[in-house]
Amino acid sequence: MTDSELHHISDLEQLSTVPERIRQLIDERAALGELKPNGQLPSERRLTDHLGVARMNVRKALWQLEAEGFIYRFHRSGWYLSPPRFFYDPSRDFSFTKVVVDQGHEAGAKVLSTGSMVANAAIAGLLGIEAGTKLTVIRRLRFIDDRPVFVEISHVIEGRCPKLVELASTDISLATVYEREYGILLRRRELYFHPTALSDPHARDLRLAHGTPGLFVRRITDG
C-alpha cells in the first residue's frame, strides 16, 4: 500500500469521527451551561485547532450535523445550536402562530413588503377566480423565538378584505385577522410542496447563503 493510499484512508477515518467529536464537544458545553439553544458555536478555525483536524473535514462535519438538524447557520455569522424540534403540519387548519405558542415558543412576524396585482391566468386558475381580479399581496418574514424560519407570501382577493395591508402590519396571525375582522374561517383546499434552493431576496431575508436548501410550500385556502 502506498503512502498516498494510507493518507487517503486516514482522511476517511478522520472524517467519520469528526461529526461525533463536534457533537460531544457541544453536548459537554451545553451540560456546563456554556452553550444554550440558539447559542453560537466556536468558529470553524477554533474547532479546527481544538480537534487537530483539517478545516475542510470540520466544515463537512458541520454540514452533516446541519443536515441532521443538530445545528444551523446564518450567512456570514456562524453556526448555532438548534433549539428543541418544532413540529408543524401545514395540512392542518391551524394558524402557524397558534402552533408555535402551543409548543411553548414565541411567534413573530415582520412585513417585508405589500402591494397589489392583477391575477394572471395561472394564479386565477389556482385560486378559482377570474383572470384580472385584483389581489392584495403581502410578504412577511415569520419568526420562532426571534429566529427567521420562512417567508410567507399571501395573495388575497382585494374586495373581500379591504384595508388588509394596514391590519397585516400588526404582529399577529393573518388567520386571526381574517376571522376577527372579516368573519372568514380559513379551510385548506390544496397543499403542494417541493424541495428548492433558496435565492435572494428570500435567502437574504432568512440570513442564509444563496443556494441553501429549502422547502417551497403552496397552501391554497378557502373561507
CATH 1.10.10.10 fits 3-81, yes or no: yes
Closest CA to 120 of 165, 155, 146, 90: 155
Domain 96-222, architecture per CATH: 3-Layer(aba) Sandwich (3.40)
Furthest C-alpha separation in the chain: 76
Q: Report the pLDDT value the prediction gives residue 210, as an integer from 0 to 100.
A: 87
Statement: residue 72 has pLDDT above 90:
no
In terms of pLDDT, which residue wins out, 150 or 94?
150
- On the CB side of 20, CA atoms within 13 Å amount to 5
Q: What is the pLDDT of residues 167-217, one digit of tens each?
A: 887 667 888 888 888 898 888 778 899 999 999 999 999 988 888 889 999
**What are the residue boundaries of the structural domains of the chain, listed by start?**
3-81, 96-222
pTM: 0.77
